[in-house]
A and B are shown apart, each in its own frame.
Chain A
Amino acid sequence: MAGEEFAMTFIYPTDSNKAHPLPLSPDYKSSIKRAPNKPLIPMRHTLSELTGPVYGHETVRDGDNDLTRQHAGEPLGERIIVHGHVRDEDGRGVPHSLVEIWQANSCGRYVHVRDQHPAPLDPNFTGAGRTVSDASGYYRFVTIKPGAYPWGNHHNAWRPAHIHLSVFGYSFVTRLVTQMYFPNDPLFPFDPIFNSVPDEKARARMVSSFDLENTKPEWALCYRFDVVLRGKNATPMENH
């Protein structure tokens, strides 16, 4: 039998993964040659899957969560607060989780050298930030609202405005990269990346909500976005 020192506190049901898009989603053309053709091989989680990186204070610097203060001046666009909790499936906050974001500027242009969208770059905006969730799982960013932008997937294809998020959580299998969208975007029905998520309720979990209560008067609007990670069954893996 397993030694007690190997027992883990949480298990991560693979059923939760049904919320994710299938690897091949032909309407998103780039997936056609980059999705595996062979089925993924199921396996039991071992200590390797059930553990994950822990961050030191050196990973995040003061102010890294404010994307409007990284340059000499302030970026153009609509200043917003994006905040929420990193949670598990039972709603418990996930503390001390690294959250990294990156996004286009208010005109829908990324600072990346390969972005050729003919919209202006903003010398006062890079579009990258990071923070660590606090003891309750809460995180907060200050940024500007990104613009929609065209892409070459199909005729007249435009991505709905979004912020990319990268989150770690408790283990290597809770790792998540997703995109946060804004409420009532008219581009939703036409976006193959948003619609690669088959379930409507699951798609709704990628859309932030307008948070009037936490808007800062005379300064910034606010959107709330909770990130929900795997980690449902807080049961011991074995009895002692």
Chain B
Amino acid sequence: MHESVKPDGITPSQTVGPFFKYGLTPNGEYAWNDAFTNSTLTPDVSGDRIRIEGRVFDGDGVAVPDCMLEIWQPDAQGRFADPQDKRALPNASFRGFARCGTDKDGNYAFETIKPGAVPDPDGKPQAPHILLAVFGRGMLRHLYTRIYFSDEAGNAADPVLALVPTDRRATLTAVREAGKPVYRLDLHLQGENETVFFDV
């Protein structure tokens, strides 16, 4: 039986290519509906509503107009909407996942809530963060990074940030705009200000 054969490895990744928009992020421009939007917000979600925005650049500093970004995060109490997290709230409508394509100038934006702290494997708190996956033409496999927040004192003790050379931590830190619930983080796929990507 075909079904009983143990695979000899995982299916390799291939690029999303330049033409994913009509399938993955149509946003009203094609005859197809969006499975996901760039917002995690639901009517019943509690927590501080924030916007995270920025641009994506390639190694020449040129804006990348055909990236797809996906975020994954817990609720304001640090609980993931996944039964594998034993602390997950049953029946909450908050899912913690969103998707956004970059526009012609490389801009992206997410509407979400400030995530709560999540424990590391030793049970110690990590600083609040959001996971970010970056897909694009020219990217044979997506890249994983994290979004931290400039106004979180916990960053100094975060065990993952501690793995990152001090002079590169800014590439993971979204900066809060004065007086607004808006954070800004540009992504650089390559070059002097290259974003830190993780081998996970």
Contacts and interface: CB of A to CB of B under 8 A. Distances in A.
A114 B21 CA distance: 10
Given A3-B119, A53-B72, A114-B19, A98 B14 contact: no
Contact of A20 (B141, B160, B200): B141
Contacts of B154: none
A66 interface: no
Given A102-B23, A226-B7, 17 more contacts: A28-B140, A33-B60, A37-B190, A38-B194, A40-B199, A43-B199, A45-B121, A47-B80, A47-B85, A50-B84, A54-B82, A70-B31, A102-B22, A104-B19, A172-B133, A178-B11, A206-B14
A4 B122 CA distance: 10
A196 B20 CA distance: 20
Contact of B198 (A7, A43, A203): A43
A51 B82 contact: yes
Interface residues of A, number: 98
A228 B82 CA distance: 21
Interface stretch (B44-52, B105-113, B123-131, B173-181): B123-131
Interface of A: 1-9, 14, 16-17, 19-23, 25, 28, 30-54, 56, 59-61, 70-71, 85, 87, 89-91, 98, 100-102, 104, 110-115, 126-128, 130, 164, 166, 170-173, 175-179, 193-194, 196-197, 199, 201-203, 205-206, 224, 226-230, 237
Contacts of B28: none
B12 A202 contact: yes
Contacts of A37: 59, 190-191, 194
Nearest to A167: B11
Among A4, A9, A111, the most chain B Cβ lie within 10 Å of the Cβ of A111
Interface string B1-42: 011111111111111111111111010011111011000000
Given A37-B59, A166-B24, A177-B13, A49 B131 contact: yes
B22 A128 contact: yes
Nearest to A162: B14
Contacts of B23: 100-102, 127-128, 164
